[in-house]
Chains A and B, each alone.
Chain A
């Protein structure tokens, strides 16, 4: 049984916060949910785990903010299948992303983000969002010939005569680094990293 911390006075406030989020593109879609379960019946995470998109909206509409700390929300594939079939124009996929951003702004889920800090690092060094190096060992184990391929990447690209080169000029990297500093991104990344490295 999930412990509930409903916003008893005005449960709709939770849904209203999601509706007002910058990421929301579905207007008041969340309030139109009829709990039909189309989302759950087509969801790959629901098919193979206890993730349940219909229940996510039910809990949001009940004002159950404990969902922000529920590990299951991290199982969404962001495949937008629910979003593409919803008969009332709601998007659980988008609501899920908003829930995670609310969680992160409350310093919840930093452990889930820590492995992905490589996406931030590569943006500051090369303005590119390549797969974080922390995963290279797993990829090398799971994918036959992957290290050879990576070592030959420069030659392969050369043979294809790709221009301009992979690495953008320094002034470009500086400009995007500045953008990601003034949006507060850099500070957030440093905070996440510090919190996880202290715990270690």
Chain B
């Protein structure tokens, strides 16, 4: 397995996390602090362009030029390990690093544009970053600290029926770097286990998309929500109470639209939706409002988690 850093980390801010589930950012910081991970956030780093990229508005040159700027910020801070809270940012940035290293024409073109326009300080040199050794998702870093997580668990969440949704852009795009499986994805299940809980493991459609499909949700909602219903029905059949996420886009699709899909399907879905960082932060004793950020959720967290029981020490 690739080596997993615990220092020199730039925690890469995500626009969807920032404006939809800011509790994912505060929970990630809370858990990283507990685990002694050395990270920083930079106000200079900007959006990866991912939502616009996968809506076909940004082309590869636009996205990789913005990427080159963010990579330079990380290098200059001596934090070459970019750690993403969003699976889209992860896939987008890893691809840009791969292409900028491998495709001389692309790198030269972007560097020439920088040179000609007073932006030479942003130039990307071949192999400035390594796609496998420098580009991570938060789940990778947490996986490297699985045994340490176990030592900080305060609350026992093992009585809930928990399933995991790995989605697509962490597992399926750069699958050579995916930890704990991409055809039978299990990284989230293993992290749930580190919190003293057992997930339901495999279920029908476990590796399927959330159904967002970027432009599909807005331009083709029937197609989008029908794909989501496949998965929501499978989770409903298993009586799942907590679905664990690693991507804010999937999180929106399930949490925000669960009510709508319940109406479409004519059945009640009861699952609450937590990012893995929120779940671990909760298990470690993070406050609902000051750390987990439950007020941003559409399906109320206290509809399932009514009280918390401390673990037997």
Contacts and interface: CB of A to CB of B under 8 A. Distances in A.
Interface of A: 22-23, 25, 44-45, 47-49, 74-81, 83-85, 97, 100-101, 104, 109, 112-113, 115-117, 119-120, 123, 127-131, 135, 138-139, 142-146, 149, 152-153, 156-157, 159-166, 168-169, 172, 175-176, 178-180, 182-185, 189
Interface in B10-34: 15-16, 18-19, 22-23, 25-26
B203 to A, nearest CB: 16
Given A79-B209, A81-B208, A113 B119 contact: no
Given A168-B44, A183-B65, A144 B298 contact: yes
A77 B227 contact: yes
A128 B47 contact: yes
Given A80-B172, A143-B257, A175 B57 contact: no
Contacts of B171: 84
Interface string B216-228: 1011110110110
A138 B218 contact: yes
Nearest to A82: B172
Contact of A160 (B182, B219, B293): B293
14 contacts: A23-B60, A77-B214, A79-B172, A97-B56, A109-B56, A115-B219, A129-B15, A129-B50, A130-B16, A135-B218, A160-B290, A169-B44, A176-B66, A179-B119
A130 B293 contact: no
B52 A25 contact: no
Given A97-B56, A123-B47, A84 B172 contact: yes
Contacts of A84: 171-173, 175, 182-183
Given A22-B61, A77-B216, A109-B56, A128 B209 contact: no
B69 A119 contact: no
Nearest to A20: B105
Interface in B180-223: 182-183, 207-209, 211-216, 218-221, 223
Interface string B61-74: 11001100100000
Contact of A130 (B15, B48, B211, B214): B15
Chain A contact residues: over half helix, strand or loop, or mixed?
A: helix
Given A130-B16, A185-B58, 17 more contacts: A22-B103, A45-B213, A45-B227, A48-B223, A77-B224, A80-B173, A81-B207, A116-B56, A128-B15, A138-B218, A142-B256, A149-B296, A157-B18, A159-B290, A175-B69, A182-B117, A184-B61
B215 A183 contact: no
Contact of A146 (B116, B172, B230, B256): B256
B159 interface: no
Contacts of A149: 295-296, 298
B51 interface: yes
B290 A49 contact: no
Interface residues of B, number: 81
B291 interface: yes
- In the A-B complex, the 5 residue pairs with the closest CB atoms: A77-B213, A119-B52, A84-B172, A164-B43, A79-B209
A183 B61 contact: yes
Contacts of A139: 256
B41 interface: yes
B137 interface: no
B26 A160 contact: yes
B43 A101 contact: no
B66 A44 contact: no
B290 A44 contact: no
A166 B57 contact: no
B51 A142 contact: no
Contacts of B296: 149, 153, 156
Nearest to B297: A149
B1 to A, nearest CB: 19
B227 to A, nearest CB: 4
Residue of B19, B59, B61, B113 with most partner-chain A CB within 10 A: B59
A143 B23 contact: no
B172 A162 contact: no
B47 A129 contact: yes
